[in-house]
Chains A and B, each alone.
Chain A
Amino acid sequence: MLDLVLFLPLIGFLLALLVPAEKAKYFALIFSLVLFVISLGLIGPVLANPGEYSFVTDTPWISTPNIRYHIGLDGLSLWLVILTTFLTPLAILISWNYIGHRMKEYYAFLILLEFGVIGVFVSLDLFLYYVFWEVGLVPMYFLIGIWGHDRRIYAAVKFFLYTMVGSVLMLVAIIYLYLKSGTFDYTVILQQMASGQLKLTPEEALPLFLAFFVAFAIKVPLFPLHTWLPDAHVEAPTAGSVMLASVMLKMGTYGLVRYCLPLFPNAARECAPWIVGLAIIGIVYGALVALVQPNMKKLVAYSSVSHLGFVVLGVFSFNQLALDGAVYQMLNHGVSTGALFMLVGMMYERRHSLEIKDYGGVATQVPHLATVFLITTLASVGLPLLNNFVGELLVLQGAAMVNISWAVFAAIGVILSACYMLWLYQRVFLGRTSHDTAHHFEGQDLKTREWVAILPLLALMVWMGVAPMGFLTPISVADNKTLQQSKLNVELKVTAPAPPALPVSAGTTVQVAQTAAGVNNAR
């Protein structure tokens, strides 16, 4: 069934190119909805055993070199796939009246994007994974480059080049692993590492880790590799921004968890203090720069840099809490930032401007839109009982258990998020409407179509904030396995110089302490 969910979008892409242009959006909407409903069937079996791969298909694709079509779904990838199939119909709805030309290609690309992204999340063969990684890049490049705003070409090329630089590095690393192990199959490589058949010296592991890491860090994006993101968001059409922020950035953070930790645990631990440093800088830096943005989309883009810093911090804290929080935060960011971009898009359709100064006091004209925006804002600033709070709490608590100063600096980002979001809200919605704004603002409140697009996201914000355990439990199981895998490799490492032990505070009871002890024993 996973094969179906994966390949339906490819079929949908081809079909979308065949239907008449004026029918394309109807086709795309129905198609993506059907796909979403089908994908819900994936949940049950994965929940039954979230630590192992379900729906595994493993057949040869190309015989030499040995590339396999090997896919599977576990607790880590499940919700990311669902998030993708869930957001695509909403992204289509939000484009309904906005896209006026080359509609057929537009909707076809949105569906092709879904294909690439799902492929990234389910691939278990590194080459297959790389192919999907590139497949996802292409439609986004065109979505920005064709349907974007004035500087779309610059933004699209910048997006493409940045990502390509990382991709090429990753490809080199993948090929190197192939030459060492004789396979692209990720699970086989892990087995070889576990059995000691495949050994990477520290001199090999570090550059390989960095090659993967840089590719992912660009995608996340991690400070200072983030400058493609604000441009890409500002120029992208609304749906492009939604998909970019909500699912494409997660390709980077997913890669960190899926590949960087289990494949190169020693190198990852060695680099962790530096990476955490960058993540924390990103959290504070992104928030500060967001504070002074005059453009709504840029503001939300920089806020993404800040929010995703939390994810990276959680991943490289190497404990259950922080990793669970990080993975949950991937979903949360997808929901709340996706909603923010949708809402900014709705504002754009009413005023044809993204500049904050062109708004002000519009809450009286569009009270429902203002209320929805406020709820989304509150989710984004991490108010308890809404989704982001849970993820941020776990990341911060987990990071605090490793090093309290990490939590101190990262928590500054939480203060600042209230500053930039509430200031944005005030400048856009509160106060009195200027004559100019009143004249240019088309004050129709949320239309039915817009309600349909945004309500599911609001519901998720509350659901994921009040009752997170349904989502979190499978994530926890999968994360536990990831941590076990990375621990396993640490203990195998006997001859290599030990990485500087992470500062571990006394009360830590989770893997960090154990693994650190393991390393020390090994010495």
Chain B
Amino acid sequence: MAESQQLWLIPALPLLGFLINSTVGRKMSKQFVSFIAIASVVASFLWVAKTLNALGALDQPHVEHYFTWIASGTFSVGFDFSVDRLTSIMLLVVTGIGSLIHIYATGYMAHEGGYYRFFAYLNLFMFFMLILVLAANFLLLFVGWEGVGLCSYLLIGFYFLEKSAGDAGKKAFIVNRVGDFGFSLAMFLVFINFGSLDFGTVFGKAATLQPEHSAGMITAICLLLLVGAAGKSAQIPLYVWLPDAMAGPTPVSALIHAATMVTAGVYMVCRSSSLFNNAPLAMETVAIVGTATAFFAATMGLAQNDIKKVFAYSTVSQLGYMFLGAGVGAYSAGIFHVVTHAFFKALLFLGAGSVIMACHHEQDMRWYGGLRKKIPVTFGTLCCAWVAIAGIPPFSGYHSKDAILLAAYEHARPLFWIGALTAAMTAFYVSRAMFLTFFGEYRGPNPHPDHGHGGHDDHAHGDDHAAHGHDAHAHKDHGHGHQEIKESPAVMTIPLVILALLSLGGGFFNIPDWLEPVLGSSHAEHDPTAVAVLYATFIVGIGLAYVMYVLSPSLPDKLASSFKGLHTLIYNKYFVDEVYDVTIVHPITEGSRYFLWKGVDAGLIDGAVNGAGSVSRWLGGTLRHLQGGNIRSYATWVAAGAVFVVLAMSVWGGVR
């Protein structure tokens, strides 16, 4: 137990990969870059496995102290890592899924420019993400927290020639900064109230707090932590960055914006569970925010045409479930869903990437269709993700989602019903995506060479240019006419198959029981009504999608035109971006420009300064003599002034 496990190696290995690839990767072959990138992450995964094996049951957290990072007065924060049961789950997910996605990415990015840059960023992301989950205090967690945000910024903006990609990256960073504002204030309050930022100390003290003692302060801390979590995990009202983040390469969407980074908020809330347990109001807020996010994001996912956007809103929605779980006290169910979601959502994105590559970087599902025979492995694996996310027993999503919703059923009936409705919508939008992509007839450009690039003019119809951002890049790759739509190489399909198996069987990992000593029990009664409702959700969702997109494909358009107002609202994501623009962004920039800068700065202050301008000009005339470099005359002036002041002072001082 006391024996050092060299935990630092876990993040250090990807850091080494980053350093190698970022310095010499430019000059090296793609094979070299891929090798370094994959080897560093896989080695990290193996080290995690070895460490966890050595640590065994982890009844007590294993803490390692390396050095004091920042200390001043009573404030002291170390570079400390800690592994407990919660960390062990996160470590396995991050390094395991991370390894698979690195491998996949070598196939997906094979023909892209900036190959070394991509993998350097990806390794850097792994470094920060592992710091985040290994951190033994709030400040170090914050280091990882900001670091993954940076990598997210870099990777969203990977295709930086496109303005939309740069915009999306910047938006992600700034919205996350708003969340971090809450996180850092929470940290300040934690230190003021607990005298430490160490998890062990803070949570130890928090667990012994009397409920009535400083309830207001704990609630404030928890609500501020929630602000931070809402930024990172894309919850209302800070979710707006995540859909735009799809401008990044698809493996990034899978790794960062689905499986790992965006779950950091959930992790942080669960990590702080002993604080939240003392703040019922904050917990209710978490549950309500989560439910609302789950619901609204699902409605937005209903009408998207870009396959990645569908999955992006789906991610926001699923993260909402995790918050709902934490909010009703079922922390371990929330983490369970983090894990199963990592499996099936990573698979959905990687599968989508495979489809997108097969269709020559077309992301609009209206130009897909009938692909199941052309890319059978992708189709087969995506079906596994489909049944998992739709909540069909006994596949993974069923176990975790139902654990959350059953806990909600016991705790707060309305939240359960909204959650169940959301589950039906989830089954619907994923089925819709599957039917549009793989069933029916192929609707894309005729792959016959005679048609040349005809298909690509269709990009003009795309309404979501952000997601199309990098197409211009990709196009150069197939200037040699259209190839057939063909299956992705093994380096991509093998990760898909592994993730498919995990999506199917991942529900049988008994994560809630493993986490019970850390996060408490989240076991809920299997109320027959609730279970029946949950069975109904996926049947209704899939059935409706089948009717609308297979049996009667003209129905969606008819519905859209008969509910035009509602459709427009959902299709445009409730105009939230526009509202933020008008109420926040615009007033800040215009106010700063015309009031603060031109008004206060140039007008008021400088006006006053230049108003003394007649004096200045006279002095300026004097000063101009100085420009010749006559230092002696300057010195004379200073000395004369000093003498004058001394005289004046002695007279004045004497008077007093």
Interface residues of A (CB under 8 A from B): 65, 105, 134, 138, 141-142, 145-146, 153, 157-158, 160-162, 168, 171-172, 175-176, 179, 224, 226-228, 285, 288-289, 291-293, 319-321, 324-325, 361, 363-364, 378, 383-385, 390, 393-394, 396-398, 400-401, 404, 407-408, 411-412, 414-415, 418-419, 422-423, 426, 429-432, 466-469, 472, 476, 505-510
Looking at B2-10, B183-191, B544-552, the stretch in contact with chain A turns out to be B183-191
Q: How far is the CB of B232 from chain A (nearest CB, A)?
A: 14
Contact call B642/A171, Cβ cutoff below 8 A = yes
Contact residues of B between 598 and 656, Cβ < 8 Å to A: 600-601, 605-606, 609, 616, 619-620, 623-624, 626-627, 629, 631, 634, 638, 641-642, 645-646, 649-650, 653
Contact call A411/B181, Cβ cutoff below 8 A = yes
Looking at B156-164, B328-336, B502-510, the stretch in contact with chain A turns out to be B156-164
B631 / chain A contacts, CB cutoff of 8 Å: 138
Contact call A510/B74, Cβ cutoff below 8 A = yes
Contact call B191/A397, Cβ cutoff below 8 A = yes
At the interface, yes or no: B71 with Cβ under 8 Å from chain A?
yes
Q: List 8 A-B contacts (CB under 8 A).
A: A172-B645, A227-B606, A390-B70, A397-B75, A404-B192, A431-B161, A431-B163, A468-B70
Contact call A105/B629, Cβ cutoff below 8 A = yes
Of listed A226, A320, A426, A430, residue having the most chain B CB within 10 A:
A430
Contact call B70/A134, Cβ cutoff below 8 A = no
* Smallest CB gap from A385: residue in B: B143
**How would residues 23 to 67 of chain B score, 1 for a CB under 8 Å from any chain A CB and 0 otherwise?**
000000000000000000000000000000000000000000001
Contact call B645/A175, Cβ cutoff below 8 A = yes
Contact call B174/A505, Cβ cutoff below 8 A = no
Contact call A507/B193, Cβ cutoff below 8 A = yes
Contact call B592/A171, Cβ cutoff below 8 A = no
A418 vs B646: C-alpha distance in the bound complex, in angstroms?
49
Q: A-B pairs with CB below 8 Å: how many?
A: 180
At the interface, yes or no: B150 with Cβ under 8 Å from chain A?
yes
Contact call B645/A510, Cβ cutoff below 8 A = no
Q: How far is the CB of A178 from chain B (nearest CB, A)?
A: 9
Contact call A227/B195, Cβ cutoff below 8 A = no
Contact call B157/A430, Cβ cutoff below 8 A = yes
B646 / chain A contacts, CB cutoff of 8 Å: 65, 175
At the interface, yes or no: B73 with Cβ under 8 Å from chain A?
yes
B177 is contacted by which of A145, A228, A384, A418 (Cβ under 8 Å)? A418
Knowing A390-B70, A472-B72 are in contact, say whether A383-B150 is a contact too (CB < 8 A). yes
A224 / chain B contacts, CB cutoff of 8 Å: 600, 605
Contact call B623/A384, Cβ cutoff below 8 A = no
A285 vs B591: C-alpha distance in the bound complex, in angstroms?
11
A408 / chain B contacts, CB cutoff of 8 Å: 185
* Smallest CB gap from B653: residue in A: A179
A401 is contacted by which of B192, B596, B626 (Cβ under 8 Å)? B192
Contact call B596/A176, Cβ cutoff below 8 A = no
Contact call B70/A472, Cβ cutoff below 8 A = yes
3 interchain residue pairs of minimum CB distance: A320-B73, A400-B188, A292-B593
Contact call A400/B634, Cβ cutoff below 8 A = no
Q: How far is the CB of A443 from chain B (nearest CB, A)?
A: 15
Of listed B185, B192, B588, residue having the most chain A CB within 10 A:
B192
Interface size class of B (residues with CB under 8 A): 35 or more
Contact call A289/B597, Cβ cutoff below 8 A = yes
B642 / chain A contacts, CB cutoff of 8 Å: 171
Q: How far is the CB of B177 from chain A (nearest CB, A)?
A: 5
At the interface, yes or no: B69 with Cβ under 8 Å from chain A?
yes
A161 vs B609: C-alpha distance in the bound complex, in angstroms?
10
A180 vs B556: C-alpha distance in the bound complex, in angstroms?
90
Contact call B641/A168, Cβ cutoff below 8 A = yes
At the interface, yes or no: B68 with Cβ under 8 Å from chain A?
yes
* Smallest CB gap from B176: residue in A: A418
A404 / chain B contacts, CB cutoff of 8 Å: 185, 188-189, 192
Contact call B653/A227, Cβ cutoff below 8 A = no
* Smallest CB gap from A131: residue in B: B638
Q: How far is the CB of B393 from chain A (nearest CB, A)?
A: 43
**How would residues 434 to 478 of chain B score, 1 for a CB under 8 Å from any chain A CB and 0 otherwise?**
000000000000000000000000000000000000000000000
A398 / chain B contacts, CB cutoff of 8 Å: 73
Of listed A227, A325, A404, residue having the most chain B CB within 10 A:
A227
Contact call A168/B645, Cβ cutoff below 8 A = yes
* Smallest CB gap from A370: residue in B: B160
A289 vs B600: C-alpha distance in the bound complex, in angstroms?
10
A490 vs B345: C-alpha distance in the bound complex, in angstroms?
63
B75 is contacted by which of A160, A175, A394, A468 (Cβ under 8 Å)? A394
Contact residues of B between 175 and 229, Cβ < 8 Å to A: 177-178, 180-181, 184-185, 187-189, 191-193, 195
* Smallest CB gap from A411: residue in B: B181
Q: How far is the CB of A290 from chain B (nearest CB, A)?
A: 9
At the interface, yes or no: B147 with Cβ under 8 Å from chain A?
yes
Knowing A168-B641, A411-B184, A412-B181 are in contact, say whether A418-B173 is a contact too (CB < 8 A). yes
A321 vs B195: C-alpha distance in the bound complex, in angstroms?
13
Contact call A145/B627, Cβ cutoff below 8 A = yes
B609 is contacted by which of A138, A227, A422 (Cβ under 8 Å)? A227
At the interface, yes or no: B166 with Cβ under 8 Å from chain A?
yes
Of listed B67, B153, B161, residue having the most chain A CB within 10 A:
B161
Contact call B73/A142, Cβ cutoff below 8 A = no
B166 is contacted by which of A134, A141, A430 (Cβ under 8 Å)? A430
B142 / chain A contacts, CB cutoff of 8 Å: 384
Contact call A157/B619, Cβ cutoff below 8 A = yes
Contact call B170/A426, Cβ cutoff below 8 A = yes
At the interface, yes or no: B589 with Cβ under 8 Å from chain A?
yes
Knowing A407-B188, A507-B195, A510-B74 are in contact, say whether A385-B620 is a contact too (CB < 8 A). no
At the interface, yes or no: B146 with Cβ under 8 Å from chain A?
yes
A16 vs B178: C-alpha distance in the bound complex, in angstroms?
51
